[in-house]
Amino acid sequence: MQIARTAAELRACVAALRADGRRVGFVPTMGNLHEGHYSLLQVARAHAAHVVASVFVNPTQFGPHEDYARYPRTPEADANGLRQHGCDVLFAPQVAELYPDGIEHGVRVSVPALGGVLEGAVRPGHFDGVATVVSKLFNLVQPDLAVFGQKDYQQLLVIRRLVRELRFPIEVIAAPIVREANGLAMSSRNQYLDVATRARAGAIHAALQAMAAGVRAGEAHEALETAAQASLVAAGLVPDYALLRRADDLGEPAAGQRSALVALIAARAGSTRLIDNVLI
């Protein structure tokens, strides 16, 4: 595996990969890699001969009071893990390489319609930061395809919109959510949870499944959302939202709609905010 730290090094590495004319897949990450990330690599490998991954904790997608400073950074373990999981090129730039004019005054990419609701409402500017860094990474790597986890469902829709509007010739592939034994979706932030809280956080997936089952049984959306919130509270979590939305644009579904939906939950477990979703 080659490690590129600058845009010039990355371009040289990707050009060498492309020499055989086969497809290049890309997996962008913020590092602190776990099985969930490695499953994205597997998906990329299944669709492309070459795999490039990036590890970059992107400052512009964190709010001023969020965990940018303490976000877990494990560069050596990440490089070893990527090597073991068949990554060909790792791009691990410093902040100044991607934001040469500083993070305050650099170019911004915004996806207004999708970026301002749900997670975007709770984390203003978050999706602008994601859209900005993903645009920069796409422009540098120029992959044929890129893999994003379904866990960050709103992010996935934002990226799809970005690709469509900026006409990036990149296929966006969604990878299924990888879960712990109790259903908790894998996330780098899970390591902030103590053992007891981690066990209680399994209630999030249980609540999503109950919402999905209720929809299929024809129950009223609002009652299902209320019941999901109550079950989260009963498990000692603090829900931000438990909602049923249209899967394609996160709009409010028609009453009685039973398919093309997504159930989404954001809940706090202590000071850690967890998100998860299930497609219906």
Residue linked to tokens 């590890």: 55
Q: Which of 130, 131, 237, 265 binds ligand PAF (CB under 6 A)?
A: 130
Its sign, for the CA torsion 128, 132, 133, 137, is positive
Task: Label residues 163-175 b or e (16+ Cβ within 10 Å = b).
Answer: beeeebebebbbb
Residue 30 in contact with ligand PAF, rule: CB under 6 A:
yes
Biggest alpha carbon–alpha carbon distance for the chain: 57
d(C-alpha 241, C-alpha 277), whole Å: 11
37 is catalytic: yes
Residue 235 in contact with ligand PAF, rule: CB under 6 A:
no
Q: Which of 29, 39, 154, 231 binds ligand PAF (CB under 6 A)?
A: 29
d(C-alpha 71, C-alpha 74), whole Å: 10
Residue 177 in contact with ligand PAF, rule: CB under 6 A:
no
Q: How far is the CB of 56 from ligand PAF (least distance, A)?
A: 6
Q: How far is the CB of 163 from ligand PAF (least distance, A)?
A: 13
Residue 60 in contact with ligand PAF, rule: CB under 6 A:
no
Per DSSP, 48 falls in state -
Q: How far is the CB of 37 from ligand PAF (least distance, A)?
A: 8
Q: How far is the CB of 139 from ligand PAF (least distance, A)?
A: 14
Residue 58 in contact with ligand PAF, rule: CB under 6 A:
yes
Residue 52 in contact with ligand PAF, rule: CB under 6 A:
no
Could you tell me whether strands 24-29 and 145-149 are parallel, antiparallel, or unpaired per DSSP bridges? parallel
Per DSSP, 177 falls in state P
Residue 28 in contact with ligand PAF, rule: CB under 6 A:
yes
Among candidate residues 34, 37, 47, 65, the one labeled active-site is 37
Size of the site for ligand PAF (CB under 6 A): 10
Show contacts with ligand PAF in window 135-164 (CB under 6 A). Answer: 152, 155
d(C-alpha 124, C-alpha 146), whole Å: 25
d(C-alpha 139, C-alpha 122), whole Å: 29
d(C-alpha 110, C-alpha 162), whole Å: 9
Q: Side-chain half-sphere of 169: how many Cα atoms within 13 Å? A: 4
Binding mask 77-116 for ligand PAF (x = CB under 6 A): ----------------------------------------
Q: How far is the CB of 74 from ligand PAF (least distance, A)?
A: 14
Q: Would you tell me which residues interact with ligand PAF (CB under 6 A)?
A: 28-30, 58, 61, 130, 133-134, 152, 155
- Catalytic site positions: 37
